[in-house]
Structures are given as structure tokens and as C-alpha cells.
Structure 1
Amino acid sequence: MFLTDKKKRRFYLVIIGDSQRLDMDRFQEITGESKIKFGSEDALQAKWAYPSASSLPLAC
């Protein structure tokens, strides 16, 4: 998941298992952010030069 803070200053790439769910409230607590939302496709490509809906080259 590609997430960002309210003001789009900080970005997070969260990797979890396909059968897991992200507790957004807990994630906000851990990061100290007041609001977390999904980042845009444009921001994803600008930050990581990687197209959305693609698999990251990570091995399990």
C-alpha cells in the first residue's frame, strides 16, 4: 500500500500479507500522523518511478 500524510509531505510504502489487514488507527499512532490516506498514482510514480497495480520486485 502506498500511503501519505494529510499534507502529502511524508510517504509510506506498506507491505503486508495478502490475508492481513492494516489497522490504520494503529499505523497513525505509530507514525505520529493525524491523518493517513492512500497516495495518488502520480505521487507513486514521482517517488518511486514504479507504475501502480504492478508487483514490486521483492522475494518472499
Structure 2
Amino acid sequence: MNHRGVEYTVAMTATPGVWKWQFQLGDEIKSGRTETRIALLAIRRVQLRIDRELKKAAREPAT
């Protein structure tokens, strides 16, 4: 999937209601898990995380 130009994945785990996600910004790979029974909520949480990371990257001065 793609959000604001960032490719990401969200996949259900063997544990019901737990989703794992991953995306890459530059050279850094971010990954984690979220708990919800609703697939669209898991996707939305990853999109919000991408938004936070993009905002954080924009604030940091380029070195």
C-alpha cells in the first residue's frame, strides 16, 4: 500500500486481533505491531504513524 509516497505493509499475525506493519523512510525501516480486530483501523494507525515520522523528518535539520 502507499500513503503520501511511502510504501507500507500491514499483515495479520497468527494471533487474532494483532497486526504487524512495516514501512521505510530513507534508509530507516520502521516496523511494529498494533492490536485491533478491524483491518481498516490497523491501516489507519500505520498511516498516522507515517504522518508523524514525515513531520518529524521535516523538522529535523538536514546534516
For the aligned pair, the TM-score class normalised by the smaller chain equals 0.3 to 0.5
| Higher RCO structure, 1 or 2 (CA under 8 Å, sep 6+) | 1
Q: Which structure has the larger Rg?
A: 2
Higher strand share: 2
Higher helix share: 2
